[in-house]
Chains A and B, each alone.
Chain A
Amino acid sequence: MAGFWRLAIPEGPVRRLALGWLGLGVGALGASTVFGLWLLIARTPYLSRLLGAGGGFHTALVLHVGLSVLIWFLAFACLLWTLAQHRYPRVGWGAFGCCVGGALLMLGAPWVGGGRPVMNNYVPVLDSPLFLAGLGLFAGGVALQAAATLVGGLGRRPGQSGAALRTGLYLMAVTVLVAMVSLGASWATLPRTLPAPAYFEALFWSAGHILQFAYTLLAMVAWLWIGGAAYSGSPWARRAGVVLFVLTAVPLMAVGWIHWNYAVISPEFRTAFTRLMSYASWPAAMLLGGAVLLGALRNRGPEPRQARRGLGLAVWLFVTGLVAGALIRGDNLMVPAHYHGVIGAVTLSLMALTYRLLPELGFPGPALRVESWQLRSYGWGLLLWVVGLAWSGSQGIARKAPLGGQLPGGLEAVAMGMAALGGGVAIASGLGFLALMSASLVGGRNAILGVLPPWRRGAAAGGARVDHRLLAAVLTIGLILAGGIAVSRVSGSGPNRWPPPDPRLEPVRHAQRARETEIGQRFQQAVAMLHAKQYEHAAVALHRVLELAPALPEAHVNMGFALVGLERYGAARDFFISATELRPMQVNAYYGLAIALENLGDLLGAMGAMRTYLHLARPDDPYRRKAEAALWEWQAALDAGRPKTAANPER
């Protein structure tokens, strides 16, 4: 029964709201594709020189991820929630307004407020009030729509139309709300003193992982909508579909337990969410994907064969992404290979579902042949991209960094070229999707108004009215945006690139950048661990930092403090001394040295170190008063002939 696997689309305001969500999602996907093109150029040998060193890579990456993963997916989720439950249309419009406003703020932030890009996992951000306000507004809108869906669905017995899909959509709404609550809990407990990368990494860690469950449910809904009729041969199979939705969402019951038992900043918290996602988010989706694929291969059901091809590619992409995830052995390109596979599968599924929804929303879909070409080219392009990235990752190429004019050699060049080719095909196909959507929406609108689109004007000889306003507005805004970005790139990159990079040094610089990136990440981890008093983990991270940068005095100092936390005072003393040898003005090293010496019983030495600290420290140094008090107490203890600890009150 096909009605079991789809939702009826009512007329009137609900349909308009659904169209609004679709427009927001497709617009976000379009903007994300433009930024994806930017990233692709920055990662492609030879072409990367066009953008110069850096080339706004990280800002483009933040926007690409935010638009494609957050806004496109969640706007589509809101569209499906609107169709599933629409008792509160005004709330729906309010949520839509919040989301549109939030998306515009996020998109406008780099051009108005700037903000440093922070490359944390899952939800990378620009550290600017405007971007963060936009993100918050968007999240609020999505939460509002999810809550309205759940409240509207309470106490209503599911009918036959889309009963299984409603189960999946309600569970997805619950998942999104759990993510929001988890985000709030992380925000409430995180120390604001953390440096931005560590702060945002910890802030979004749990919510980012929970959202992966929501995206999996979203893909499952799309698979069942497209191929459900082929899959549902029996009532048993229909029940199994519902059970698979439940099985995907049930593991999230562990979220509360994890929050209750572990500090947000602790490694156990990170590991728990990683394991939750690694082991629990995908098995039910794999089973469902396999069953739907098998049904599609048997060529059953009313859906066009072309749609099922897109569905098949989506399932294969999902599997490829999972395999890449299993092969992750470090922070390299295998990581983006994993998430591009999985996310690409969701995107492809949503594209295929969009084609099915268009006629039901009153808009003409493209010809089936064209639709099939678009879906297949996107799927195969993404597969090439994922395999190319995975291959590059297996050779240890760092992620989240542009090539910057570097010319990789041998297999590296082949792998990255393959990724670039696949990425180019996928982006071209993504642009094709947007063109088809624009044609459909403009054409459909004109059809509703009783006119024909421009390319069919010949048929309008009977005097039908022609309305080009939407087309002209889209063209104008697009051309001004694209032209402005091009002009700002050209005018903003002149003398700042002087002197020109020496190509002979570029491979060395690339390796150096990768090393610097890892040093930065490990160092931030260590700082976060020190703040959380996780001294063992901090020492492990600092050990790696010292391997990569043995002459970094800050790393020696922090290792010293980690060892003080572990009560290994002799080793701590050695690290503090090596820090002062590396940089005689490293003020906090003298403070740490004094604490280590005090605990080793060398009060005279401790006093000498503390006096040096006081001599070098700024007048407003927050530890100055504590140091003065310690000196006074040590002096008193020496005078009285009894050692006493004062500099470190925790001991």
Chain B
Amino acid sequence: MNGFDGTEFMGQTVKPPDNPSVMGRGAPRDLRISRLQRALGALASLKLTLAILAALGGGTMVAYLSEARTTWALVLPLAAFSVNLAAAVATNPVFRRQTALLMFHLALIAIVLLIAVGRLTYLKGQLELAQGQVFDGQLTQEESGPWHPRRLDAVRFSNQGFTIGYAKGMRRAATRNQVAWTAPDGRPRQAVIGDQDPLILEGYRFYTNFNKGFAPVFVWRPRSGASPQLGAVHLPAYPLHEYRQAQEWQPPGSRSPLWIMLRFDEVILDPEKSSEFRLPTEHRLVVRAGEARRELKPGDAMHLAEGVLVYQGLRSWMGYTVFYDFTLPWLLAACILAVASLAWHFWRKFSARPWNPPVS
């Protein structure tokens, strides 16, 4: 090597240290490896696997039955299971030779870890938007993992209206809901989403759900001089609550509640034939404030003690389910890999031929 023998360093010959303690924390290397192996062996114990599976079963029951937050009841057994499995992979010699079997087990570890991470970071929720209303990051119902990275406040989209077909017998067909939002590059975007086709913003998947109904829109002009406000009141879901299209509502800043009921005579969804969800062509809105009762048409105003209520018209509202779990694509990939590697393993196992077949 032209004057370089590979062991020369700073003009001196480099030798391995005589004292093994130079290399570590005081214990001889073999001893440390032996301790590590014993620890790994204990972690890889099948008895421990059984205990963890029992704990996982218990955690699942708790999660199923409990009303309280139960994330850790699942996450801890899952994390312990992944450690147990990893220790088994590290210590069991069979995994050194059988690539496919090892890949199956590694994929299982990945699945367990991904499920645990998914439980820590997921979010499920519900929201309702009237036609033309913009989502402002607020959910009506919500459950989420403790480590959920909350980015809903950065999400904005608007409900631009929807169509839902109903087959004979009032069987609901596909929902087609047009939504609009502004893309990160500043360009306006539109999409049609449905029960199975989500709008995906910031990792959140917004699906339409079966909830939808009518929403009278009002302008409330308080007598106090505060600025007028525009808002919609969501009546109970239609047709689920077809005969209960009423709602109690309190105008902003007002102390007295109003009772509102939508009345219309026509049949919107006919069980005898195919139909489509739509707004009634003619309707009346009954408003009760204490003893006073008025039937309003669009444009009518009702003078109340605390302000003037102007009925603007009727719109529809749509219910959405929002879901966040960033692990799902990787979970699917890990599942496919687990199935494929197990198939590979068994294919090799059962297609093996003896190297010295018997001579007939």
Which residues of B lie under 8 Å from residue A8 when comparing CB positions?
A: 4, 6-10, 14
Whether A488 pairs with B329 at a CB distance below 8 angstroms is yes
Whether B326 pairs with A6 at a CB distance below 8 angstroms is no
Whether A496 pairs with B186 at a CB distance below 8 angstroms is no
| Most chain B beta-carbon contacts within 10 A, residue among A112, A161, A496, A499 | A496
User: A467, A476, A492, A499: which contacts B106 (Cβ < 8 A)?
Assistant: A476
Within 8 A of B (CB), among A1-38: 1-3, 6, 8-13
Name the residue of chain A whose CB is nearest to the CB of B102: A472
| Contact of A479 with B by CB under 8 A | yes
Per-residue interface assignment for chain B, residues 325 to 347, with 1 indicating a CB less than 8 Å from any chain A CB and 0 otherwise: 01011101110110000000000
User: A159, A229, A471, A480: which contacts B330 (Cβ < 8 A)?
Assistant: A480
Q: Quote the shortest CB–CB distance from B147 to chain A (angstroms).
A: 9
| Contact of B2 with A by CB under 8 A | yes
Whether B14 pairs with A114 at a CB distance below 8 angstroms is no
**With A10-B9, A468-B97 given, is the CB distance from A491 to B329 under 8 Å?**
yes
Whether A479 pairs with B14 at a CB distance below 8 angstroms is no
Whether B337 pairs with A302 at a CB distance below 8 angstroms is no
| Contact of A574 with B by CB under 8 A | no
| Contact of B82 with A by CB under 8 A | no
Segment of B31-39, B47-55, B192-200, B240-248 engaged in the interface with chain A? B192-200
Whether B330 pairs with A484 at a CB distance below 8 angstroms is yes
User: B2, B6, B9, B185: which contacts A54 (Cβ < 8 A)?
Assistant: B185
Name the residue of chain B whose CB is nearest to the CB of A482: B333
**With A112-B121, A483-B337, A496-B200 given, is the CB distance from A1 to B106 under 8 Å?**
no
Which residues of A lie under 8 Å from residue B2 when comparing CB positions?
A: 1-3, 229, 302
The distance in angstroms between the C-alpha atoms of A54 and B186, with both chains bound, is 12
| Contact of A257 with B by CB under 8 A | no
- What class of interface size applies to chain A in its complex with B? 35 or more
Within 8 A of A (CB), among B1-41: 1-4, 6-12, 14, 16-17, 23
Whether A114 pairs with B203 at a CB distance below 8 angstroms is yes
**With A161-B8, A475-B103, A496-B199 given, is the CB distance from A483 to B332 under 8 Å?**
yes
Name the residue of chain B whose CB is nearest to the CB of A116: B184
- What class of interface size applies to chain B in its complex with A? 35 or more
Which residues of B lie under 8 Å from residue A2 when comparing CB positions?
A: 1-4
Which residues of B lie under 8 Å from residue A111 when comparing CB positions?
A: 326
**With A3-B3, A472-B106, A485-B329 given, is the CB distance from A114 to B96 under 8 Å?**
no
Name the residue of chain B whose CB is nearest to the CB of A360: B6
Per-residue interface assignment for chain B, residues 188 to 212, with 1 indicating a CB less than 8 Å from any chain A CB and 0 otherwise: 0111110001111011000000000
| Contact of B110 with A by CB under 8 A | yes
The distance in angstroms between the C-alpha atoms of A497 and B187, with both chains bound, is 12
Whether B96 pairs with A487 at a CB distance below 8 angstroms is no
Whether B9 pairs with A467 at a CB distance below 8 angstroms is no
Q: Quote the shortest CB–CB distance from B275 to chain A (angstroms).
A: 25
Within 8 A of A (CB), among B291-330: 326, 328-330
| Contact of A260 with B by CB under 8 A | no
Which residues of A lie under 8 Å from residue B43 when comparing CB positions?
A: none
User: A116, A471, A488, A494: which contacts B197 (Cβ < 8 A)?
Assistant: A494
The distance in angstroms between the C-alpha atoms of A477 and B102, with both chains bound, is 12
**With A11-B16, A467-B96 given, is the CB distance from A487 to B10 under 8 Å?**
no
Whether B103 pairs with A472 at a CB distance below 8 angstroms is yes
Which residues of A lie under 8 Å from residue B12 when comparing CB positions?
A: 159
Whether A479 pairs with B333 at a CB distance below 8 angstroms is yes
How many residue pairs at the A-B interface have CB separations less than 8 Å?
141
Q: Quote the shortest CB–CB distance from B206 to chain A (angstroms).
A: 10
User: A12, A161, A485: which contacts B10 (Cβ < 8 A)?
Assistant: A161
Q: Quote the shortest CB–CB distance from A165 to chain B (angstroms).
A: 13
User: A112, A229, A484, A499: which contacts B333 (Cβ < 8 A)?
Assistant: A484
The distance in angstroms between the C-alpha atoms of A13 and B17, with both chains bound, is 11
| Contact of B112 with A by CB under 8 A | no
Whether A6 pairs with B4 at a CB distance below 8 angstroms is yes
User: A468, A494, A498: which contacts B99 (Cβ < 8 A)?
Assistant: A468
User: A9, A13, A481, A488: which contacts B23 (Cβ < 8 A)?
Assistant: A13
| Contact of B183 with A by CB under 8 A | yes
Whether A159 pairs with B186 at a CB distance below 8 angstroms is no
Whether A302 pairs with B14 at a CB distance below 8 angstroms is no
Which residues of A lie under 8 Å from residue B184 when comparing CB positions?
A: 54, 116
| Contact of B287 with A by CB under 8 A | no
The distance in angstroms between the C-alpha atoms of A483 and B107, with both chains bound, is 12
The distance in angstroms between the C-alpha atoms of A116 and B185, with both chains bound, is 11
User: B95, B190, B328: which contacts A498 (Cβ < 8 A)?
Assistant: B190
User: B3, B4, B89: which contacts A469 (Cβ < 8 A)?
Assistant: B89
Per-residue interface assignment for chain B, residues 100 to 131, with 1 indicating a CB less than 8 Å from any chain A CB and 0 otherwise: 00110011001000000000010000000000
| Contact of A160 with B by CB under 8 A | yes
Within 8 A of B (CB), among A27-66: 53-54
User: B11, B98, B149, B332: which contacts A160 (Cβ < 8 A)?
Assistant: B11
The distance in angstroms between the C-alpha atoms of A306 and B94, with both chains bound, is 42
Whether B332 pairs with A487 at a CB distance below 8 angstroms is yes
**With A3-B8, A472-B102, A479-B337 given, is the CB distance from A484 to B329 under 8 Å?**
yes
User: A54, A113, A469, A479: which contacts B102 (Cβ < 8 A)?
Assistant: A469
Whether A472 pairs with B99 at a CB distance below 8 angstroms is yes
| Contact of B151 with A by CB under 8 A | yes
Name the residue of chain B whose CB is nearest to the CB of A53: B183
**With A11-B16, A302-B1, A472-B103 given, is the CB distance from A495 to B197 under 8 Å?**
yes
| Contact of A516 with B by CB under 8 A | yes
Which residues of A lie under 8 Å from residue B95 when comparing CB positions?
A: 469, 472
| Contact of A465 with B by CB under 8 A | yes
**With A12-B23, A159-B11, A513-B185 given, is the CB distance from A476 to B96 under 8 Å?**
no
Whether A476 pairs with B121 at a CB distance below 8 angstroms is no
Which residues of A lie under 8 Å from residue B4 when comparing CB positions?
A: 2-3, 6, 8, 161
Within 8 A of B (CB), among A453-480: 454, 465-469, 471-473, 475-477, 479-480
Which residues of B lie under 8 Å from residue A477 when comparing CB positions?
A: 106, 110
User: B99, B183, B326: which contacts A112 (Cβ < 8 A)?
Assistant: B326
Which residues of B lie under 8 Å from residue A481 when comparing CB positions?
A: 330, 333
Name the residue of chain B whose CB is nearest to the CB of A454: B99
Whether B97 pairs with A487 at a CB distance below 8 angstroms is no
The distance in angstroms between the C-alpha atoms of A491 and B326, with both chains bound, is 12
The distance in angstroms between the C-alpha atoms of A81 and B66, with both chains bound, is 57
Which residues of B lie under 8 Å from residue A487 when comparing CB positions?
A: 328-330, 332-333
The distance in angstroms between the C-alpha atoms of A9 and B17, with both chains bound, is 15
Per-residue interface assignment for chain A, residues 72 to 94, with 1 indicating a CB less than 8 Å from any chain B CB and 0 otherwise: 00000000000000000000000
Which residues of B lie under 8 Å from residue A10 when comparing CB positions?
A: 9, 14
Per-residue interface assignment for chain A, residues 488 to 509, with 1 indicating a CB less than 8 Å from any chain B CB and 0 otherwise: 1001101111110000000000
Whether B199 pairs with A161 at a CB distance below 8 angstroms is no
The distance in angstroms between the C-alpha atoms of A467 and B98, with both chains bound, is 9
Which residues of A lie under 8 Å from residue B89 when comparing CB positions?
A: 469
Which residues of B lie under 8 Å from residue A454 when comparing CB positions?
A: 99
The distance in angstroms between the C-alpha atoms of A476 and B103, with both chains bound, is 6
**With A2-B4, A8-B10, A469-B95 given, is the CB distance from A498 to B191 under 8 Å?**
yes
Q: Quote the shortest CB–CB distance from B83 to chain A (angstroms).
A: 16
**With A468-B96, A476-B106 given, is the CB distance from A1 to B332 under 8 Å?**
no
New A-B pairs, 6, CB < 8 Å, besides A229-B2, A479-B333, A492-B200: A10-B14, A12-B16, A112-B149, A112-B326, A360-B6, A483-B330
- Jot down 27 A-B pairs with beta carbons below 8 A, ordered by A: A8-B7, A8-B10, A9-B6, A12-B16, A12-B17, A53-B183, A54-B183, A54-B185, A159-B12, A160-B11, A454-B99, A468-B96, A468-B98, A468-B102, A471-B99, A472-B95, A475-B99, A477-B106, A480-B107, A480-B333, A484-B329, A486-B333, A495-B192, A496-B200, A498-B192, A516-B185, A516-B186
What residues of chain A have their CB less than 8 Å away from a CB belonging to chain B?
Answer: 1-3, 6, 8-13, 53-54, 111-114, 116, 159-161, 229, 302, 360, 454, 465-469, 471-473, 475-477, 479-488, 491-492, 494-499, 513, 516
Q: For the complex of A and B, list the 10 residue pairs with the smallest distance between their C-beta atoms, beginning with the closest.
A: A483-B333, A484-B330, A8-B9, A487-B329, A488-B329, A159-B10, A159-B11, A476-B106, A472-B102, A2-B2
